[in-house]
Structure 1
Amino acid sequence: MIHVLTLTYLKPRDVVTAHLAEHKAWLREHADQGRILLSGPRPDGGAVIVTADLDEATVRDLIETDPWHRLGIASYERTSFEARTASPGVITAAEPDDSVVLINVATTEDAPATVDALAEAVRHVAATADGFRGSRLLTGVDGDAVVNLASWSDEKRFRAIFDDPEFTRRYEDFARTTTGAKYRLYRTSRVITPNR
């Protein structure tokens, strides 16, 4: 389950600020370990933390170790949900799993045509392929490259798309719009979050 943790300050602002460095160190530790996906202050006071896919015991332990919680500076309200959709590149698993991220870089002289052709291949995959989690198509700021960032549940399911003749035809149409294309599969090996 993904957990949205809403923090409400229980102490005056000066007490919150006095313990901010400890809280930030705790946030960074858990973000670097993949347990916390997002965090930040609310405009009306308090803060919000969005966790990775954590079980009940892990999220309880996470909350209990926050210095603000231990010192009675903030209370936690939790909303949990099953994440079924995520933007490509967003990895919700806190621990390494079999998921892979595809990065396909194509050079081109006609970025709009390349994006359109690649989108046709990706739409077909989105409608038919098991294990496909989503794709984001990016165009280089100079207009000479297109990147496909896609997420898959595992390498085997990714490779199975090449057994589909309809996908292969659409991918060949895409390749004809490029001056070169190369893809690689990646797994997360380390996460480093901003130190601020």
Structure 2
Amino acid sequence: MIHVLTLTYLTPRETVVAHMAEHKAWLREHADQGRILLSGPRPEGGAVIVTADLDDAQVRELIESDPWHKLGIASYEQLAFEGRNASPGVITAAEPDDSVLLINVATTDDAAASVAALARAVEHVSVTADGFRGSRLLTSVDGDAIVNLAAWTDRERFDAIFEDPEFMRRYEAFAETTTGAKYRLYRTSRVITPGR
């Protein structure tokens, strides 16, 4: 389950600020370990943390390890939900799993035509393929290349799309719009978050 943790300050602002460095170090440690996906202050005061896919015991351990919790600076309100959909590139698993990220780079003389053709292939995959988690199509600033970032549950399900004749027809139509294309599959090796 993904957990949204809402922090409410229980102490004066000076106390919050005095212990900010400890709390930020805690946030970064858990973000780098894949347990925290997002965090930040709320305009009306307090803060929000969005966790990776953690069970209740893991979330309780996470909260209890926060210096702000230990010092009684903030209380935590918890909301859990099943994270079924995520933007490609967002990895919700706290521990490495079998998921793969496709990075397909294609050079082109007509980025708009290449994106449109690739979108037709990916849209087919989005309604037919098991294990597909989503795709993001990017165009280079110079307009001479496009990139497809696509997330998959595992390599076997990714490989299965090449057995689908309709996908292959659409992918070949995309290839005709490019001057070259190459893809690779990747797994997360390490996460490094901003140190500020």
Fold equivalence (TM over 0.5): yes
Q: Which amino acid aligns with 2:187?
A: R
Pair 1:34-2:34 in alignment: yes
The equivalent of 1:90 in structure 2 is 90
User: How many angstroms apart in 1 are the aligned matches of 2:116 and 2:5?
Assistant: 39
Tell me which residue corresponds to 2:176.
Answer: 176
Q: Does 1:15 align with 2:15?
A: yes
Where in structure 2 are the equivalents of 1:61-80 lying within 5 Å? 61-80=61-80
What SS does the aligned partner of 1:185 have?
A: strand
Partner of 2:153: 153
- Give the Å deviation of 1:124: 0.4
**1:139 has 2:142 as partner:** no
Quote how far apart the aligned CAs of 1:115 are.
0.3
Alignment of 1:83-122 (within 5 A): 83-122=83-122
Give the TM-score normalised by structure 1: 1.00
The offset of 1:47, in angstroms, is: 0.3
Aligned amino acid, residue 149 of structure 1: L
The equivalent of 2:127 in structure 1 is 127
**Secondary structure of 1:31 counterpart:** helix
Partner secondary structure for residue 166 of structure 2: helix
1:62-99 Cα distance to aligned partner (Å, 9 max, x none): 00000000000000000000011000000000000000
Distance across 2 between alignment mates of 1:174 and 1:7? 48
Cα separation, 1, equivalents of 2:147 and 2:11: 48
What residue ranges of structure 2 are gaps of 5+ in the alignment? none
Runs of 4+ in 1 over 2 A off after TM superposition: none
Paired residue type of 1:120 = R
* C-alpha distance in structure 2 between counterparts of 1:32 and 1:101, whole Å: 18
Distance 1:3 1:96 in 2: 19
Aligned partner of 2:160: which letter?
A
Residue by residue, what CA displacement relative to the aligned partner does 1:91-120 show, whole Å, maximum 9, x if unpaired? 000000000000000000000000000000
RMSD: 0.3
List runs of 5+ in structure 1 lacking aligned partners.
none
Distance 1:29 1:116 in 2: 41
Aligned residues: 196
